[in-house]
Amino acid sequence: MKDDKKSINLLLSTCGILALLSFVVLLLVAVTGAFYLYPAASYTFTDSKTVNSTGKSEPVTSIEKDEVWRAPALSSLTGNPEEKSITYGRELIAHTAKYLGPEGSVLQISNGMNCQNCHLDAGTKIFGNNYSRVFSTYPKFRKRSGSEEDIYKRINDCLERSLNGKPLPLHSEELKAMAAYINWVGRDVKKGDEPEGAGLYEIALLDRAASPEKGKLVYETRCQTCHSENGQGQKKAGATEYLYPPLYGDNSYNVSAGLYRISNFAKFVKANMPLGATYDKPILSDEEAWDVAAYVNSMPRPQKTFKQDWPEIADKPFDHPFGPYADAFTEKQHKYGPFQEIKQAQQKKAL
């Protein structure tokens, strides 16, 4: 009887070990199968690519955080002889509509958007279209006007284009204050330098035309909660400023603004939108950024143009949406792409 119990116990132990081994084998098979079904190499990361001089994609050089430009602290203004003017300038950049919008307390010359809707955090956000390189590079020759421009001309360009308004008088306190603030933001950048983190974050060109149809889906899932179903943005009741700015329609930027070029819009949203996105932690893929840019810039908006722009048509950017051009590509391709062959043709002519 004792021998029978020992045999049964031995049998149970053996079965337990075999069951455990079977479970381990099944687990390994499942994991291995999953690896082959969903290999890491099958995922495409478009965020880490840009386009080289031939129009082909290649990896972006990684950006070290300690190399990226940082805006000076507001606390450093204390004791600055221009403190009052610089502070007022920042206020005008951050809350333009309050002073210069349709119900502005100083003038009524703009569409109700704020400068910081395009120049984020009052022009201090990394790759948020910041002001880091303005002081170091202005005055400078700009191909769009075919002339040397100072900072006052640059500010008024934004007022006339992005804010679809009128220029400030050159002698005005407001224009001088905005210039003082913008210069102060870039005060630590050496003349001629363009610091890391300036402007917009470069992303890869698509190998196809950007699609307004696909972009509409991106807008509906990623953008319209803040910017509304009809693109008109959101305002609190009785407010003079937008909580979220209009992206198209009568109160948005006009067709002569920099963001009307879809490469600029795509780069802007890639590193900054939806809210919470940054250049190193983006939310949209490159394709989503290009397509939503195509959608937003296919929608109605003010048709203000400047006949004096681009006196040398060969200097127009590859995605300038209006002819005439120095090449044979159509307006549609210049606006939506594909852009590689346009860039290649421009580079050949430049040789």
Q: What is the DSSP string of 285-326?
A: -HHHHHHHHHHHTTS-------TTS-SSGGGS-TT--S---S
Q: Is the peptide bond before 274 cis (omega within 30 degrees of 0)?
A: yes
Let me know if 141 is exposed, middle or buried by CB neighbors in 10 A (0-12, 13-18, 19+). exposed
At residue 66 the predicted structure's pLDDT band, cuts being 50, 70 and 90, is low
For the chain, what's the residue count?
A: 351
Asked whether residue 22 carries a pLDDT value surpassing 70, the answer given is: no
pTM of the full predicted structure? 0.82
DSSP line for 13-43: HHHHHHHHHHHHHHHHHHHHHHHHHS-GGG-
Question: What pLDDT sits at residue 349?
Answer: 84
| Cα gap 168→175, rounded to integer Å | 6
Give the angle 114-120-125 at the CA atoms, nearest 5°. 160
Backbone angles phi, psi at 93, to 5 degrees: -70, -45
Q: Report helix, strand or coil for 91.
A: helix
Q: Report the SS3 class of residue 234.
A: strand
Q: Would you state the pLDDT for residue 63? A: 66
> Quick one: pLDDT at residue 50?
39
Q: In whole angstroms, what is the distance from residue 309 CA to residue 323 CA?
A: 11
Helix (H) or strand (E) holding 63, with range, is: none
Query: Which domains are present in the chain?
Result: 74-200 (1.10.760.10), 212-342 (1.10.760.10)
pLDDT digits (tens, 9 = 90+) for 284-299: 999 999 999 999 999 9
Q: What was the pLDDT predicted at 351?
A: 79
Q: Spell out the residues 6+ positions from residue 170 whose beta carbon is closer than 8 angstroms to its own.
A: 152
